[in-house]
Structure 1
Amino acid sequence: MTSRTCPCGLPQPYDACCGRFHTGRAAAPTAELLMRSRYSAFVKGDAAYLLRTWHPRTRPERLDLDPGMKWTGLEILDTADGSAFHATGTVEFRASYRGGALRERSRFERVAGAWVYVDGEFPQD
């Protein structure tokens, strides 16, 4: 899959983009890149990565992904904080799927230096 662009929408090949986070070769340096890698994990059906990057305080015991869900695109709408200089950050995005779209404003925190997903709100368009 190295010749294909990453599902997250950035122009890099998957292995050089979100794939390196999924395999554990690297950690996402910003809240936005963690959010992008989590979207790619949904596309790839990587529930283990999603659970691993979920805040322990809000993480479910298990995650059952729908194998019939076809994610078709990601659009970043807004970001606040979430860089190497912050302890928290938010990313608002629209994730399209066959038949519709999901809009979420996700909250992220650093735990032991690594970005993790905390929770999200679902604003109405």
Structure 2
Amino acid sequence: MAYCYCGSSQPYTTCCEPYIKGIKKAPTAEALMRSRYSAYAVHAADYLWETTAPKERKYHSKAAMLEWAKSNQWLKLEILTATETVVEFKAYYLDSNLKAQVHHETSTFIKEQDSWYYKDGTY
């Protein structure tokens, strides 16, 4: 059994994959954040784009999301705190030079028409 990339100890096929494939909607901001991390790990740029808040998309590029996903080896996600709309996390990865990196972010999420979206993050 392959565990989910998000660190939930659940199988990927029943954890984040149904969200990434559009079978289900993430029920919480934390679930969306976890699925977005998994999307980076599996290079699912369409999902990353679609789960970015529509008003924020002009600041992001699907091509850049895909490049960032592919240029790193995603190792581990650590959720530090989570509220209804804010998730603080650390994403551990190896960069293109195989140097260990940690991306520490506090992300804000919004819910619009029954769907959660990534709004922005501070580092």
TM over 0.5: yes
Q: TM-score range by the shorter chain?
A: 0.7 to 0.9
SS in 2 for 1:6: coil
Match of 1:79 in 2: 82
SS in 2 for 1:21: helix
How many residues align? The count is 113
Give the CA deviation at 1:11.
Answer: 1.2
Give unpaired runs (5+ residues) of structure 1: 83-88
What stretches of structure 1 move > 6 A for 4+ residues in a row? none
Say yes or no: does 1:11 pair with 2:1: no
Give the CA deviation at 1:26.
Answer: 0.5
Match of 1:105 in 2: 106
Give unpaired runs (5+ residues) of structure 2: 95-99
Which structure shows the bigger proportion of residues in helix conformation? 2
1:60-94 deviation per Cα after TM superposition (whole angstroms, max 9, x unaligned): 243322323101000000112x2xxxxxx000000
Instruction: Give RMSD over aligned pairs.
Output: 1.0
Matches within 5 A, 1:1-125: 3-59=1-57, 60-64=60-64, 65-66=67-68, 67-80=70-83, 82=84, 89-98=85-94, 99-122=100-123
Distance 2:63 2:46 in 1: 8
TM-score (norm 1): 0.86
Counterpart of 1:90, as a letter, is V
SS in 2 for 1:91: strand
